[in-house]
Structure formats: C-alpha cells, structure tokens
Structure 1
Amino acid sequence: MNRFKVLVADDDPNVLEIIRLYFEKQQIELVEAHDGAQALDMVEKESPDIILLDVMMPNMDGFEACREIRKKSDIPIIMLTAKGEEFDRVLGLELGADDYVTKPFSPRELVARIKAIFRRLQPRNDANAQEGSPTQLEFKDLFIHLGKRDVHVQGERVAFRPKEFDLLVHLAKSPGSVFTREQLLEQVWGYDFMGDIRTVDVHVKKLRQKLSTLEHEYIQTVWGVGYKFEVQE
C-alpha cells in the first residue's frame, strides 16, 4: 500500500499524540489541525487523502467544517464523536461524513477504517478494467459508469460521494439480492460490524434522495433484514 496523508483535526493534545505515535508505526503521514477553521485551511494547503474531524472544536466545530469541506471536495471524512452522542453521529453523516469513530477509540480500529477507505480509493479504473468485469451498469433510467464513477439519472449526471457510489454499485451489481446492514458494512465499508448500523441507513437515505426523480424505487427495504436493489420490470 502506498504512503498516504491524513489530516486530523482535534483540539485534544492527548488524542493527537496517540494518533501521531500510531500513525508513525503504520507509515501514515499526519497533518494536524487544532480547530475547524485551521482544518479548512489545511485542506487547501495539504490536499490530504482522508480527513478526521473531531465534533467539538473551537472557532469552527466539526459539523461546520464538514459542511464547508463538502462544498468544495469529496475527500473522505471520518468524524470523531463522543460515546453515546447518537444525534451527533447521525448529523455528521447527514452533513456529508463518510463514517465516524466513537471516542474513546482504539488506534488500531481507527487505522483499520482509514485503510479500508484508502483501499477503495486506489486506482479506480484498474479495479473495473479486469477481464470479464463490467465497466458500466445500465438500467431503464439509471446509468452507472464504474471506471469514471459517474451516475446519470434520467440522462443527467448526479454527483455521488465516494461511499454513496460504492454502496450503490454494490447493490446494483446484485439485483434482487438482499443484504443485511452488517454485510454492507463489511463488504462496502471494509470492516466488520461493530455494533452500530446507522451508517448504512443514513447512506441509503442519501441514495434514495439522489434517485428520487425516478419513477421506480431501486433501493428497497426488506423489513427485518436489510436492503436490496430491485430492477424495474
């Protein structure tokens, strides 16, 4: 795996020190910010591969920083949130975060999630250019180009964030197959289920919003089980 750069925004020096030490062992380049405003500035200057945003920071909190970053970039964002603050975690996902990690966290878990995201960012065209692999998925009013990571809804290009695109493709590649939330966390996010399935639910909600102009609802809920992609007959 190539060396990559992670921007961590947190005003707690102890958290930064723990992350710094563990990142050094994993050969991950660390860029530090101590508040949301500084994080926003560092995104422009450093062009990180992934961003970690603490929720509670001075000058500009993690929510506002996430909102501002999403206006300019699709860089994957992981929110760092205090244990038990479910509303905070969901709000972060609604604002455009790709994932969240609850404090106190294991550095090993944090790095595992970062690497899972980074693996999915590796040469996107190569992953879909293998012999026998489809380069596009086409339905009646929905077109997905895997290599370009483009989605066209009724002929119009619609922007999907990286994890939204990955989830849509995973479901669309297996029409009719039902996936549990735990399976989607493991297969799309790249790590084992860790006790909170809200991440999947929020991303499905985002998919449905972006496909809402279609007459047919492709992403369907299978109550008590999970989700499936249902092709229009």
Structure 2
Amino acid sequence: MATSLLLAEDDPRLLEDLQRHFHSRGFKVTACADGPSARSAVQRERFDLVLLDIMLPGIDGLSVLEELRCQQAVPVMLMSALGAEQDRISGFTRGADDYLPKPFSLA
C-alpha cells in the first residue's frame, strides 16, 4: 500500500511540483491549497506524513497542526518562508517534527 501524504501549500506552482514529485515516487498524495481544505482532509483521512505550509489562507498551518495533533500521531514537516528562530520554535512547540525553510530544492 502506498504511503499517504497530506500536502498543504497555497502556492499553486509549488503545490503542483510537490504533488508531481511525490506521486512519481509512489506516494498517495492528498493536495490542499488552503487551511479549511487541509483541516477537512485531517478529519476524514489518516496520513503517514504531512507537509504543511504555515501561511495558508483561511486557517493557518499552525492551527491545522494543533487540530491534527489532537487526532493523529503522524510526522509533520512545516514548510515556510518564515525563517526566524521564533517562527521555528513556535512550530516545534505546537507539535511539528521538522521545519523546512523556503525556498528549497526537490533535487
């Protein structure tokens, strides 16, 4: 069975690139472009891995993360252009397992 991945990213090009990248490596990808869609996906599915942008429209990624932590014990990697130390600390204290600063390479 394929590894299930929740991918939440509001940048359409990055979302498409990441979705294609993970699909080509055998992942089952659920892609969301905003916070409400990501929250809805968390409520209806279980995931093996979550890649979550912090600055999502509608509901920010940190709020989605808090709700996710109440429902699932799944590895979560935050992705964000917010690179300040305090932003990283905030992500980790809310339950993130890792933090990937943007921009990053898929190579």
- TM-score (normalizing by structure 2): 0.90
- The equivalent of 1:69 in structure 2 is 68
- Secondary structure of 2:30's match? strand
Whether contact under 8 Å (1:81, 1:88) holds in the other structure is no
Percent identity, aligned pairs only, is 36
The answer to whether 1:20 aligns with 2:33 is no
- Residue-by-residue CA offset, 1:10-36 (whole Å, 9 max, x unaligned): 111011111022112211111011112
> Aligned partners of 1:92 and 1:67: how far apart in 2?
10
Q: What is the CA-CA distance between 1:63 and the residue it aligns to?
A: 0.9
Larger Rg: 1
How has the CA–CA distance of structure 1 residues 91 and 17 changed in structure 2, closer, same or farther, with 3 Å as cutoff?
A: same
- Secondary structure of 2:67's match? helix
Q: What is the CA-CA distance between 1:66 and the residue it aligns to?
A: 0.8
Q: What is the CA-CA distance between 1:85 and the residue it aligns to?
A: 2.6
The CA RMSD over aligned residues, in Å, is 1.5
- Residue-by-residue CA offset, 1:184-231 (whole Å, 9 max, x unaligned): xxxxxxxxxxxxxxxxxxxxxxxxxxxxxxxxxxxxxxxxxxxxxxxx
- Secondary structure of 1:19's match? helix
> Aligned partners of 2:68 and 2:19: how far apart in 1?
23
Whether contact under 8 Å (2:46, 2:72) holds in the other structure is no
Whether contact under 8 Å (1:83, 1:104) holds in the other structure is no
- The equivalent of 1:8 in structure 2 is 7
> Aligned partners of 2:97 and 2:69: how far apart in 1?
11
- Secondary structure of 2:14's match? helix
- Secondary structure of 1:27's match? coil
> Aligned partners of 1:86 and 1:59: how far apart in 2?
24
Equivalence map 1:89-128=2 (5 Å): 89-108=88-107
> Aligned partners of 2:90 and 2:49: how far apart in 1?
19
Q: List structure 1 segments (4+ residues) > 2 angstroms apart after TM superposition.
A: 83-86
Output the amino acid matched with 2:95: G
- Secondary structure of 1:88's match? helix
Give ranges in structure 1 of 5+ residues lacking alignment: 109-233
- The equivalent of 1:127 in structure 2 is none
Whether contact under 8 Å (2:3, 2:27) holds in the other structure is yes
The answer to whether 1:42 aligns with 2:44 is no
- Secondary structure of 2:10's match? coil
- Residue-by-residue CA offset, 1:21-80 (whole Å, 9 max, x unaligned): 211221111101111221111012231111111010111101111111112221111100
- The equivalent of 1:168 in structure 2 is none
- TM-score (normalizing by structure 1): 0.43
